[in-house]
Every structure is written in C-alpha cells, then in structure tokens.
C-alpha cells in the first residue's frame, strides 16, 4: 500500500506547520516517532510494545526509554488495527487518535475509553446514497458490504431509507475475510453480482475491510455494472494503472475536504538528498521512480541512479497524489488536535512542558482537552465532549475517469447535503459524468419498467415492491403520473381520456335549436303548425259549404287550433332546459293533446249520434248541439288539468344534470319528477284515444256522405300506434335522444291526425268544389235512402 505514504507526508507537514506557528505551542518543538504496522494487527501490538519499552529488547509492562517524550499515538487505519493497539495503550491511559474512517466500535467509551477519532461521521451517508438513487430512478440496487459492524449498521440504515422511498435491494453480498485465499468463494461472489439483474452496485466498507475485493474485481471485472462507493474505500491502493480501467465511470461519495494550503509546495520541497536520515522517504523514492539513491546496488542491474532533479510532483498520481486525500486530512487534523490539547495545557499551567513528569501524567491531562476539541473542526467545543450537536455533513459526488495513456482523474460532478429537507441539498451535473463503457447513456437499474400514465402498478406475489406488473385503469378511472399505485376516479363533471391518463371536462349538451336534429324538429313543428293554420283558414273561408257544415265546423275549428298548439308545444322540449320549461312542457303537451283527442272523441260521438237521431221522435237530437260537444271537451280538459295539478303539487318535474348517460357529456334535462303522475297523464290521453278509436271503428260502415268515422279511425290508429311505440323507445333511450323521441312522437301523432282527418276534406274543398254542393249531397243521400241532418 505504497499509496498510503501520503499519510505520513501529511503528518510531517502538520508537524512542520505547527513548529513554524508562533501562536500555537510557542517555544515548543514537536517531534514524533514513526512505526509501521504493515496493516497487520499483530505488528500493531508489537509496535506499541516497542514504543513503550524503547529501542532495546521488548519487555511488556516496562518502559526502558528514559528519553521518551511522546504523549499520544496517532494511528490505526481501521478498527482491526486500532483495537489491539488500544488494549496495550489503555494500560497507561495514553490517548490514541484513529484517523481511519469513522467506526462506531471505536466510539464505545466503556470498552475503549482512550480512543478518539478524527474522521467525519457517516450518519447521513445512507440518505445521500438514496437521494442519488432517486435522482436517476435506480430502484433495483445491489449492495456489497464489509463483514463488520459498520457494514451491518449501514445496511440497517440504508435499507430503512430505501424502503421509505420505494427502492429495493436486488442483491446483498457480504465480503468475507481472506477472500483471495478462497478462490471458489471469490468466483461465486463475483458471479452472483455479475448475473444479478441490478445494474447499479453500491460498495460500502473501507480500504482495510475490502482490501481483498478490488484485486478480485481486477481479475473478474463486473461488466455491465455501475459501481458506487465512498472515498473510504480506496480501490486504487490495490490496482495498477492498467487495471483501473475496470473502475472507469465509478461514482464516489467523499466528505467535503477542507483546503490545506501549502501542502503541494511542501511535497515539492521534500527530497531524500535534503533529508538523508528519512529512510522511509528513501525507500518510497526508489520504489516510485524505479531508481536507486545508492551508488551501487549489487546484483540488481535494472536500477539506475536517481536524477537530482526528480521531485514528488513527477510521481505517478496512482502512487502519490499531490492533493491531500481524505485520510491524509484526518491525519493532518489529528496532529492539530493533539497540538491544541497541549496548547490548552500550557494555558492552564505555569510550568514548562519540559518540567512535566512521566508520560502517563501528561497523557492523563490530555484526555480532558481532547474531549473538548472537535476533531473535525479543530475548534474548542464548549459542550466538552457532547457530540449531540454534530456539524452538518456534506458530500462531494466524484466521478472516476480512466483514459488510456493519460492521468486518471476524479471529477467533481455534484454535491449533496442530506440533512436539507425535500432534496434541496442535492446537486449534480449529469453532463459531466463519464459512465462506464458498457452504458451508452445514463444507466437504468429497475426490476420492472415504469407504468406509464393510464396504468397502475400491481404487485407480484412474493416479490419486492419494485417488481410489479402494469394493469390498465378500469373504466371511469385514470392515472396521471408514472408508477401510479391506484387509479383515481374523475369528478362528476369530468370523464377519462381514451388513454385514461387525464380527466377531460365534459361538454354540456341538450337538444339545441342549432344542431341538425333540433333544427329539423323545429322546422317540422313550425311548418306543420303553419300548415294547420292554413287548413283552419281554408275551413273558416269555406265555413258555409256543405262539407264543412256537415262535420260540425265548431269541433273542426277546435281540433285545428289544438293541433296547432300541439305542434308548437313541441318547441318547449327543444333548447336549453330551464325550470320554467320543465314545469310547462309536459303539462302543456298533456292539456293541448287532451283537447285535441277530446275534440276527436266529440266528433266521433257526433257522427254516431247524427245517424241515430234520424229516427222519428229520437231524443238524441239535443246531444247534437255544439254545447254538448264543447261540454264534453271541457270536462276532459278539466280532468286532465286536475291530474296535472296533482302532479305539480306533489312531485313536479325539475331541472337536472345527467352526468352518466353519455360518456364525456353532461346532459341538461328535465327530470319528470313523479313517474307515476307522468304515466297517469299519458294513460288518461291513451284512454281518451282508445275511446275515440273504438267509437270510430264501430261507426266506420255508416254511409260516406256524412261519415268521418273512417278518417277518425285511421287518425286514432296512427295516434295509438305512435304512442304505443313511444313507450318502450322512451324507456330505452337517455339524454337528448329521449327528448327527441318525445318530440318526434308529438309531431308524428299530430301530423297523423291532421292528415287523416283534414286531408280528404281539403282535397274536396280546394280541388273538387263540384262535389261540395248541397244538390250533390242530397242526390247521394236520396240514392242511399236516408234522411240527412246537418249539424252545425
């Protein structure tokens, strides 16, 4: 792990800065000892014993170096290294500051009372990760976790956040220890990840706990997968420039690092020729440049003498980055934490530090001040160790770019502050992201394709919520956004679109005068009413002719006026309904039609009585007067008016909006109110019509001269046929079609009566005037052997 040499350089830089600072530890020079544990816990324990016992023979529980002035230990890249070290140091209450990624195990002050951490906490990292998933729509994600408590805690937190936001875990893998020594497990682990349906894999751990995963990926690349990790997991430590190609496009979350001015200049000033006593620098220099600083290296002919002009800026960035890494920042902060703690002791005591007693005495005094200095900000904490008020965490989103033949780079593509509400702290520039070569565009990692508007998600049995089928919304319901879980019902004044993805406003419709059907019915009603008025005019003009007088011209006038009103009353059914028209149209239609049918009934009775009254001494002559006929008509009308009055007084017709009869339309119509009253009114008219039809039918064979019975029979036959057909048709239609059916029935029945009764008379009056004379009528009457009577 030669790349970790930067940690030591950051340590040296911090010590050098502090020694040059006239305000921090004035007149005091910091020194240090450097011991390497090679990332092995056994060597970490050995190094601690060497540090305590001195340079001679290691004797546990004895300190043999009287010149020892060290008061604290900075070390432990991971908990596996810090804990064994702490078990030895806690015997002397020596403070230990771990600079590795923050680990909750090291925060246990009962088991590890003298261990401190300089790293930032990851308390909101899981929130930042899920925000990235939601931004790109990754709802089917794989997790690779370290086999330790950090991995367990992170999985618990991220799983809870994922469930809260509808994201699912496609695959969860724990990286076991000694993975490289178990080839079959390594192969199976990477194969399971490779064949999983998730395209996005998040890796959580640190460099130490996952030190065997990335070399395995170098041998078994995860093609077709986008890797997301944190800066705590430095894959470059175990990779070469060539194998970094396998990590191109990786997304990395990193704590926002404070700027450390002067570090680059410090690195450029470091040279083994200037610092010959630094054996670590000499070793690093020869390894990094592949040269030798010695005059001769026996048996090794491939090394050449290192040129004097070399500097650390010439080192491959994969070996040494000129920008301080996150772990190096932790080392830098740890040195300052110790220095500020010592400075606080100087401020509270009058003695010089050189007069302090043994190491434990100084170390014991450091603990109080270390608790009261924030390791992240290096500022004195007034809460003195109370970490309930932690600083807001902010992460940089980095993108690893690998370009063959060029320097690998980490490009900052975004920033996230998870604690800000509603995702306000999430910013990312998608245009700056270089995705892995397997993806031509932004990767998609989903279990099921999103349901488009008009469909809803239907969960699959025994599968996560991210795996679902898309089911069309049922009739009358819509879904107006992607991945809707339920379909919504449109309000009553709206209806679903054909795609069922939005609600459309219903059009208000009624049988209008302007539409073709309404215009046709209106013109028909006006034309027939005008025609009826012409017939009435003809009858009035020829009122003294025998054919007009022979058929009771008073009743004919009444019938023609009633028919004119029947045609005109149909206009009340056309146009936008109002409360007034709803009240008037059925009652008006009932009364004027009753008048017309009653007039026909009176005519029919008059025809029958006219022949019965021809017998000598018959008492029926008094019923042939106009008074009797009009009394009958008035009685029939009064009875109908009583029915209408009862109807209007109990449950009258009213205006209503029919939302359901026609899809996409609101039908403005009149509700008849009491259906019983409506059919009673129609039934009464039917009763009168049936009586007229029956009477006319019985009188159909009387002599033709005075007999209207055949014409009346045909007119009533047409009338009854129309209205009998009307009833089932009226019941089976809705909306404006129902209104059109009633208007059509009114016009047809009225036109049938007008045609059947008055067309033959008008033919004689207008075209065969020679037949409309008294002499012709008398001659035909005499030839028939009957006496005639002409009621007026």
DSSP per-residue letters across 578-641? -HHHHHHHHHHHHHHHHHHHHHHHHHHHHHHHHHHTTSTT-GGGGGGSHHHHHHHHHHHHHHHH
Higher-confidence residue of 706 and 312: namely 312
Report pLDDT for 357: 43
Reported as a pLDDT band with limits 50, 70 and 90, residue 386 is very low
Condensed to tens digits (0 to 9), the pLDDT of residues 60-100 reads 766 666 556 678 999 888 888 888 888 888 888 889 999 98
CB 209 within 8 A of CB 232: no
Residues 293 and 786: their CA atoms lie apart, in Å, by: 157
* 201-235 per-residue burial string, b: 16 or more CB within 10 A, e: under 16: bbbbbbbbbbbbbbbbbbebebeebbbbbbbbbbb
Whether the pLDDT of residue 353 is over 70: the answer is: no
CB 561 within 8 A of CB 673: no
Report pLDDT for 387: 46
Condensed to tens digits (0 to 9), the pLDDT of residues 644-689 reads 999 999 999 999 888 877 777 888 888 888 889 988 998 998 898 8
Condensed to tens digits (0 to 9), the pLDDT of residues 198-226 reads 999 999 988 777 877 887 887 788 899 99
Q: Which of 191-195, 373-377, 554-558, 601-605 has the lowest mean pLDDT?
A: 373-377
Q: What is the CA 126 to chain-centroid distance, rounded?
A: 23
Whether the pLDDT of residue 354 is over 50: the answer is: no
Reported as a pLDDT band with limits 50, 70 and 90, residue 702 is low
φ and ψ of 601, to 5 deg: -60, -40
Share of the chain above pLDDT 90, in %: 31
Condensed to tens digits (0 to 9), the pLDDT of residues 439-485 reads 989 999 999 998 999 999 998 888 898 899 999 999 889 998 888 98
According to DSSP, residue 273 is labeled T
| Helices and strands: H and E segment counts in the chain | 20, 22
Condensed to tens digits (0 to 9), the pLDDT of residues 515-573 reads 999 999 999 999 999 999 999 998 898 888 887 777 678 888 998 999 999 999 999 99
3's CB contacts (< 8 A; 6+ apart) are 234, 236, 237, 318, 319, 320, 321
**How many other C-beta atoms can be found within 10 angstroms of the C-beta atom of residue 788?**
19
CB 648 within 8 A of CB 577: no
Report pLDDT for 546: 80
Supply the pTM of this predicted model. 0.68
Report pLDDT for 358: 43
Residues 15 and 31: their CA atoms lie apart, in Å, by: 7
CA dist list (Å): 580 to 456, 576, 654:
47, 11, 9
Q: What is the CA 348 to chain-centroid distance, rounded?
A: 62
φ and ψ of 276, to 5 deg: -65, -20
- List, in sequence order, every residue forming a beta bridge with 255; answer none if it has no partner: 395
Encoding tokens for residue 84? Answer: 């064994």
Report pLDDT for 786: 40
Q: Residue range 740-747: average pLDDT?
A: 91
Mean predicted lDDT score pLDDT of the chain: 83
DSSP H helices in 21-169? 41-53, 79-89, 125-136, 149-164
CB 590 within 8 A of CB 685: yes
């Amino acid at each position: 792990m030669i790349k970790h040499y930067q940690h030591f350089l950051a340590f040296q830089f911090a010590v050098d800065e502090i020694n040059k600072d006239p305000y921090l530890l004035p007149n005091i020079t910091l020194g240090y000892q450097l011991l390497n544990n090679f990332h092995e816990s056994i060597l970490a324990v050995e190094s601690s014993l060497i540090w305590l016992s001195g340079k001679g023979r290691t004797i546990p529980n004895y300190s043999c170096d009287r010149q020892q002035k060290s008061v604290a230990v900075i070390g432990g890249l991971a908990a596996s290294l810090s804990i064994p070290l702490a078990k030895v140091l806690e015997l002397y209450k020596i403070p230990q500051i771990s600079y590795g990624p923050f680990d909750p195990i090291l925060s246990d002050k009962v088991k590890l009372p003298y261990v401190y951490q300089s790293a930032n906490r990851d308390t909101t990292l899981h929130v930042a990760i899920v925000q990235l998933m939601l931004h790109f729509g990754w709802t089917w994600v794989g997790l690779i976790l370290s086999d330790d408590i950090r991995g367990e805690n992170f999985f618990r937190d991220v799983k809870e956040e994922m469930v809260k936001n509808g994201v699912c875990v496609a695959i969860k893998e724990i990286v076991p220890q000694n993975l490289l020594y178990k080839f079959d497990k390594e192969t199976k682990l990477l194969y399971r990840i490779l064949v999983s349906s998730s395209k996005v894999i998040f890796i959580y751990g640190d460099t130490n706990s996952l030190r065997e995963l990335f070399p395995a990926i170098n041998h078994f690349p995860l093609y077709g997968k986008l890797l997301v990790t944190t800066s705590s997991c430095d894959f470059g430590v175990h990779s070469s420039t060539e194998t970094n190609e396998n990590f191109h496009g990786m997304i990395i979350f990193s704590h926002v690092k404070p700027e450390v001015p002067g570090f680059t200049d410090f690195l450029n000033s470091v040279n083994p020729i200037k610092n010959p006593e630094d054996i670590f620098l000499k070793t690093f220099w020869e390894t990094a440049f592949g040269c030798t600083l010695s005059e001769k290296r026996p048996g090794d002919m491939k090394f050449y003498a290192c040129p004097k002009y070399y500097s650390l800026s010439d080192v491959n960035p994969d070996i040494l980055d000129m920008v301080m890494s996150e772990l190096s920042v932790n080392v830098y902060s740890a040195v300052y934490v110790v220095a500020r703690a010592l400075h606080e002791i100087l401020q509270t005591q009058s003695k010089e530090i050189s007069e302090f007693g043994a190491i434990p005495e100084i170390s014991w005094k450091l603990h109080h001040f270390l608790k009261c200095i924030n390791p992240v900000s290096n500022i004195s904490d007034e809460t003195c160790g109370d970490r309930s008020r932690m600083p807001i965490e902010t992460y940089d989103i980095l993108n690893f770019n690998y370009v063959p033949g060029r320097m690998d780079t980490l490009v900052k593509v975004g920033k996230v502050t998870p604690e800000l509400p509603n995702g306000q702290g999430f910013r990312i520039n998608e245009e700056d992201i270089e995705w892995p070569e397997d993806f031509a565009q932004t990767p998609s990692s989903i279990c099921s394709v999103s349901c488009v508007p008009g469909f809803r998600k239907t969960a699959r049995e025994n599968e996560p919520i991210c795996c679902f089928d898309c089911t069309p919304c049922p009739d009358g319901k819509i879904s107006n956004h992607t991945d809707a879980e339920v379909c919504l019902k449109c309000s009553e004044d709206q209806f679903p679109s054909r795609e069922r993805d939005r609600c459309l406003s219903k059009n208000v419709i009624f049988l209008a005068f302007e539409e073709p059907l309404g215009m046709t019915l209106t013109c028909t009603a006006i034309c027939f009413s005008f025609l009826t008025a012409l017939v009435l005019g003809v009858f009035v003009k020829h009122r003294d002719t025998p054919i007009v007088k022979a058929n009771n011209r008073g009743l004919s006038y009444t019938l023609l006026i009633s028919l004119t009103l029947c045609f005109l009353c149909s206009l009340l059914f056309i146009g936008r309904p109002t409360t007034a028209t709803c009240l008037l149209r059925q009652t008006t239609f009932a009364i004027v039609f009753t008048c017309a049918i009653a007039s026909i009934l009176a005519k029919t009775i008059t025809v029958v009585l006219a022949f019965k009254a021809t017998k000598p001494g018959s008492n029926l002559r008094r019923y042939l007067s106009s008074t009797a006929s009009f009394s009958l008509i008035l009685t029939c009308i009064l009875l109908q008016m009583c029915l209408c009055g009862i109807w209007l007084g109990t449950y009258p017709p009213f205006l209503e909006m029919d939302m359901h009869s026609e899809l996409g339309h609101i039908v403005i119509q009149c509700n008849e109110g009491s259906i019983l009253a409506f059919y009673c009114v129609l039934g009464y008219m039917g009763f009168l019509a049936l009586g007229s039809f029956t009477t006319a039918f019985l009188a159909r064979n009387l002599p033709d001269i005075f007999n209207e019975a055949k014409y009346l029979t045909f007119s009533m036959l047409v009338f009854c046929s129309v209205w009998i057909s009307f009833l089932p048709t009226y019941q089976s239609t809705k909306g404006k079609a129902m209104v059109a059916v009633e208007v059509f029935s009114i016009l047809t029945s009225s036109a049938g009566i007008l045609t059947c009764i008055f067309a033959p008379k008008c033919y004689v009056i207008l075209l065969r005037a020679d037949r409309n004379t008294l002499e012709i009528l008398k001659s035909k009457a005499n030839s028939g052997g009957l006496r005639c009577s002409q009621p007026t």
